[in-house]
Amino acid sequence: MQFFENIIGTIGKTPLIKLNKIVEDLPCTVLAKYETFNPGNSVKDRIGLKMINDAEKKGLLKPGGTIIEGTSGNTGMGLAIVAISRGYKCIFVTSDKQSKGKLDVLRAFGAEVIVCPTNVDPDDKRSYYSVSKRLGEETPNSWYVNQYDNPSNAKAHYESTGPEIWEQTDGRITHFVVGVGTGGTISGVGKFLKKMNPNIKIWGVDAYGSVLKKYHETGVFDQDEIYPYVTEGIGEDMIPENINFDIIDGFIKVTDKDAALFCRELVRKEAMFLGNSAGAAIKGVLQLEKNFTKDDVVVVLFHDHGSRYINKIYNDEWMKQMGYLE
């Protein structure tokens, strides 16, 4: 018989799928690393498993312990899947800009969810960074994950996502494009791909209102770059330790409106029902057109599933309220 011992065994080994209509004006081949095939429907399942495995090995996470993390939803899901299998409790702290669907899913998995305001500085005691850190210090027998600075985040992608992409493209990949938040995906995948072929270009997709692009280009942390934005899953108002800027060749910014509209384009042109960051990622690829030739193989990573955004980017009323639809 062929079966997995539990749901954890299904994490990783996601397919690579050719994009067609949405990239028909590009000269290159564009392939999507389709991370919604993970059991939690996102790329974050990979880091949830890796961070817990490493914490157990280091004695940071003990039997019956509580996992505490600040998360936009997807990392919480990845952690919760492993936690259920291994008998841990979860407390997740998130911001009030996240989709209600994400929070409902976390609660369905038995997690306690605490919602904090978005429009405060990271070091403000009300921010979800600060609250999650404080809970980690105050809660007995707990482990504060800290995906932003946890090296196991990038290692998960160096050990799994990167090698999968290299093998699936027979080493022919020339460009890797991905939305950047904590920096784990781009840094882990980028490090592996650059090791295999230093000529591969690594591109990050950033949001307007985030500091990452300017910091990469100038080394300056500019507070004036920070303002509220809608796109979920990418961009930061701080610099996570996980981001290895040295392996990133460049950043491209995508507007909130384009990120939302191109999610809808992916559904209608490719039958791919994906989350907010996927719209930003594919629009980023299209904006990078001048960097591609007919012989190039571009891989774009799609982070999560569209079901978590039903009440936002796939809801006409919400889109009209935001001014994205007439």
Running DSSP on this structure, what letter comes out for residue 157?
A: I
Pairing mode, strands 29-34 and 16-18: antiparallel
Torsion from C-alpha of 194, 197, 198, 201, nearest 10 degrees: -70
What are the start-end ranges of the H helices in the chain? 44-57, 74-86, 100-108, 128-138, 151-156, 162-168, 184-196, 212-218, 256-270, 276-287, 316-321
Beta-carbon count within 10 A of 155 CB: 19
Running DSSP on this structure, what letter comes out for residue 161?
A: I
Angle at 208 between CA 206 and CA 212, to 5 degrees: 45
Describe the strand order of the beta sheet including 66-70 as a list of residue ranges: 112-116, 89-95, 66-70, 142-144
d(CA 132, CA 26): 43
d(CA 318, CA 324): 9
Beta-carbon count within 10 A of 191 CB: 18
- Residues in contact with 75: Cβ distance below 8 Å, sequence separation at least 6, in sequence order: 44, 47, 48, 69, 145, 147, 182
Catalytic residue, candidates 18, 21, 33, 44: 44
In the annotation, is 44 catalytic? yes
Beta-carbon count within 10 A of 117 CB: 12
Q: Phi and psi for 236 in degrees, rounded to 5?
A: -150, 155
Catalytic residues: 44
